[in-house]
């Protein structure tokens, strides 16, 4: 029997910087080790996996809702495949920002993984600015992500005032039971050694707060049929709606048009990995701030939008789809 594999959960609310932190950790991975990342997204079209491709780790995505839902089955299947195929030296798990950690931790602590995983500290990233906002503080998922973490990390410190950072430190040091570490970073610059801090059992205030997704109707694999240019998938839950588009590898977009389009959208969260006339680019929009990443490779183009307004399902997705189509390089020719 081989040694149990060290495993960490990296939690935190939607867009706080979990994927950025994992990318930073991968940059500092010992060269002789194989790391695996299991990443779960709310949207049906996984983007974070595409953002992490080619960064030296084995990646597996669990898209389409929170992986704790549907009795944790998608998570277990994903995890078991990662373990069997890549025999990793360490596993990092990024749940969706809208998820509740209780059920995930229950599964990882359970009998099935007892001899397989060595569950280390759960690291929760927090944007200190959100600690002053009731809509976050009153969100059970947000609160329990913090309550169940062993390590509490303020990310986006570069965006915070001294007062906000001080309030975070006070908030963190008042947690009971005390956290193993309360600290501040920018750009997800987590120290690799924090992964080896010890995990203890921490109770959730509202373990049942998360309204589990029902199993999505079986709408077939995420695969384009021959000749199909794109497909679109929607999802909803936790008072949020998402819509994602997967475009064939033959489709390329105008970078400038996409940049203008994304900047003009008033949505809660947008992520995309797209083939453009300037190369493969990752787009990431959170709280109205759009950032662009140069990427080496992408098998196809993916765009995922999350919003919490009712109009999202009714009209917004359709409008965005038409605008996306007009950003294709071939759109001029068709017109
Ligand atoms: N200014 C600033 N931006 C940051 C920092 N960390 C991350 N970001 C940006 O915040 C956005 C969201 O980062 P992600 O790493 O994708 O966040 P996430 O938590 O993985 O998001 P979800 O998986 O969608 O919940 C990106 O545009 C990042 O570039 C930071 O410390 N400062
Ligand atoms: Mg992410």
pLDDT at 265: 95
**Ligand whose nearest atom lies closest to the CA of 12:** 1
How far, in Å, from the CA of 68 to the mean position of ligand 2? Answer: 16
Q: How do residues 113-165 score in pLDDT, each as one tens digit?
A: 999 999 999 999 999 999 999 999 999 889 999 999 999 999 999 999 999 99
- pLDDT for 335 beyond 60: no
188: Cβ below 6 Å to ligand 1?
A: yes
Residue in 286, 290, 295 to alter for ligand 1 test, most ligand atoms within 8 A of Cβ: 286
- Of residues 1 and 41, the one with the higher pLDDT is 41
In 35-59, which positions are buried (b, 16+ CB within 10 angstroms) versus exposed (e)?
bbbbbbbbbbbbbbbbbbeebebbb
Residue in 12, 13, 18, 20 to alter for ligand 1 test, most ligand atoms within 8 A of Cβ: 20
- pLDDT for 214 beyond 80: no
To which H or E segment does residue 21 belong?
Answer: helix 18-27
- Of residues 210 and 238, the one with the higher pLDDT is 238
pLDDT at 287: 85
CA distance 123 to 11: 6
Tell me which residue has its CA closest to atom 2 in ligand 1.
Answer: 156
65: Cβ below 6 Å to ligand 1?
A: no
268: Cβ below 6 Å to ligand 1?
A: no
pLDDT at 21: 98
Confidence of residue 220 (pLDDT cuts 50, 70, 90): low
Closest CA relative to residue 124, chosen from 55, 204, 58, 46? 204
Write down all domains in the chain, each with its CATH number in brackets.
5-196 (3.40.50.300), 230-334 (3.30.1220.10)
**How high does pLDDT run on average in the chain?**
90
Q: Which of 40-49, 77-86, 264-273 has the lowest mean pLDDT?
A: 40-49
CA distance 123 to 143: 14
How far, in Å, from the CA of 17 to the mean position of ligand 1? Answer: 3
CA distance 47 to 243: 12
CA distance 93 to 19: 10
Region 26-37 average pLDDT: 96
284: Cβ below 6 Å to ligand 1?
A: yes
Q: Which atom of ligand 1 is nearest to the CA of 284?
A: 27
How far, in Å, from the CA of 272 to the mean position of ligand 1? Answer: 13
> Max alpha carbon distance in the chain (Å)?
63
How far, in Å, from the CA of 20 to the mean position of ligand 1? Answer: 6
pLDDT at 239: 81
In 82-104, which positions are buried (b, 16+ CB within 10 angstroms) versus exposed (e)?
bbeebebebbbbbbbbbbbbbbb
């Amino acid at each position: 029997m081989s040694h149990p594999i060290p495993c960490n959960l990296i939690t935190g609310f939607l867009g706080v910087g979990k994927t950025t932190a994992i990318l930073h950790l991968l940059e500092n991975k010992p060269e002789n080790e194989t790391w695996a990342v299991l990443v779960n997204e709310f949207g049906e079209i996984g983007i974070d996996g595409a953002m992490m491709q080619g960064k030296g780790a084995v990646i597996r995505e669990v898209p389409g809702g929170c992986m704790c839902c549907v009795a944790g089955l998608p998570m277990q299947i994903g995890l078991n495949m990662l373990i069997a195929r890549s025999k990793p030296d360490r596993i990092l798990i990024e749940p969706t920002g809208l998820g509740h950690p209780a059920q995930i931790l229950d599964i990882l602590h359970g009998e099935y993984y007892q001899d397989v995983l060595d569950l280390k500290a759960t690291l929760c990233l927090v944007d200190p600015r959100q600690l002053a906002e009731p809509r976050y503080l009153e969100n059970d998922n947000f609160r329990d992500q913090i309550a169940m973490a062993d390590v509490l990390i303020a990310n986006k410190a570069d965006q915070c005032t001294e007062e906000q950072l001080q309030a975070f430190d006070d908030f963190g040091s008042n947690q009971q039971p005390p956290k193993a570490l309360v600290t501040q970073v920018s750009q997800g610059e987590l120290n690799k050694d924090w992964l080896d801090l010890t995990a203890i059992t921490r109770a959730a205030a509202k373990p049942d707060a998360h309204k589990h997704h029902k199993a999505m109707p079986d709408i077939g694999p995420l695969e384009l049929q021959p000749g199909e240019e794109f497909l679109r998938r929607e999802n909803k839950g936790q008072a949020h709606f998402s819509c994602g588009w997967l475009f064939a590898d033959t489709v390329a977009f105008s970078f400038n048009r996409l940049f203008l389009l994304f900047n003009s959208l008033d949505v809660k969260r947008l992520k995309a990995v797209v083939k453009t006339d300037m190369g493969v680019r990752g787009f990431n929009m959170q709280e109205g701030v759009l950032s662009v990443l140069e990427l080496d490779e992408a098998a196809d183009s993916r765009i995922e939008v999350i919003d919490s307004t009712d109009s999202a399902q009714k009209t917004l997705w359709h409008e965005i789809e038409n605008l996306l189509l007009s950003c294709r390089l071939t759109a001029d020719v068709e017109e």
